[in-house]
Amino acid sequence: MRTIKLTIAYDGTAYAGWQYQPDRMSVQETLENALNKVTGERIRVLASGRTDAGVHALGQVVGFRTECKLPPDALLRAINANLPPDMAVLDAAEVPDGFHPISHARRKRYRYVIHDGPVRDIFSRNHVWHCCYGRLDAEAMNRAAAALLGTHDFSSFESAGAPRETSVRTIFAIGVERGRAGQGRGLGDGDGGTGDEGEGLEDGGEGLGIRRCGNAGMRECGKWKRPATAIAGDMETPRDCDRGGTSQASIVAQPCAEKGGNPQSDFIIIEVEADGFLYNMVRAIVGTLVEVGRGKRPVSWPGEVLRAADRRAAGPTAPPQGLFLVNVEY
């Protein structure tokens, strides 16, 4: 028996989420069906995390055991030949038998994309949250996000129904930036993909503003740039003007090459990297930061929400279609 690690990307629009559903198509079932055809076995995969319905992935990691003798590169091609157009294996590798996609993950990175232009972008409607609140103050959102850096009890940003031993998590990096819309290049750095080494936001060193644990308020000028990410809980449903339909998955928001972002852009990119995430944590953070961006709450408010340790204190849960699992680091 061999243990295989796959890095996969998928457009979550047509799926009921990652996890198997008895009456609806899931990402897990679709991938396992392809693996069963390729290997002739009944394969069960384990993912680094379970994305919800409508949530996308640029670098989801899964593991499985198989007796298939195909080398990783041939296995990758064979699996992709049996997958639908909205899913692809980006990398396949044989790993030690003890590999565990969940417990061995050191950090994860999520991206959330908001469109706040006066007219919704119909081609990206399944991959952004089109806010109907008017133009948001991305700079204020970025300042507000700094309060979430570090190790905290994030229970204010956790939806009900997912009990855990602890709601303490560490956010290593967070930032909010205006970006630009990119066609056919995904959310990466121009090569259409993202891997486990965290290169998806590399922009040649002229990058996006980022706040890191330990130097909140500083702008990093290093190689790896990332904008902040937000997270949201499950109170009210926020206004969203781009529900339903199909769209071009390749048209999404991506980081802007100019330092400081593009102030004229109608896209806001929020990214967050942490050692783990609670249920709906990113979407709850996003919904909270949007309240700041609307001018409904002060920049200091997310810090107050964090200290309250009460989901009712935070903003609404942002809709799923703007969320992307970007990378999992081991």
Place of tokens 């972008």: 121
Distance, CA of 51 to CA of 46 (rounded, Å) = 13
3-19 tens-digit pLDDT:
999 999 999 999 999 99
Report the DSSP pairing between strands 251-254 and 87-95.
unpaired
Phi first, then psi: give them for residue 328, nearest 5 degrees.
-125, 125
**Side-chain half-sphere CA neighbours of 215 within 13 A:** 8
Q: Is 309 left (phi over 0), alpha (psi -120 to 50) or beta?
A: left
Report the DSSP pairing between strands 267-274 and 251-254.
unpaired
Listed residue (231, 263, 317, 301) closest to 116, CA to CA: 263
In this predicted structure, what is the pLDDT of residue 164? 78
Q: Are 232 and 315 in contact (CB under 8 A)?
A: yes
Place of tokens 């004229």: 264
Residues with catalytic function: 52
Distance, CA of 287 to CA of 36 (rounded, Å) = 40
Domains of the chain with bracketed CATH: 2-95 (3.30.70.580), 107-329 (3.30.70.660)
Count of CB atoms situated within 10 Å of the CB of 100: 13
Output the tens digit of pLDDT for each of the chain's 330 residues.
999 999 999 999 999 999 999 999 999 999 999 999 999 999 999 999 999 999 999 999 999 999 999 999 999 999 999 999 999 999 999 999 999 999 999 999 999 999 999 998 899 999 999 998 899 999 999 999 999 999 999 999 999 876 678 999 999 999 999 986 443 333 333 233 323 323 332 232 223 344 554 433 333 322 333 433 333 333 344 555 443 333 333 334 443 333 445 667 899 999 999 999 999 999 999 999 999 999 999 999 999 999 999 999 999 999 999 999 999 999
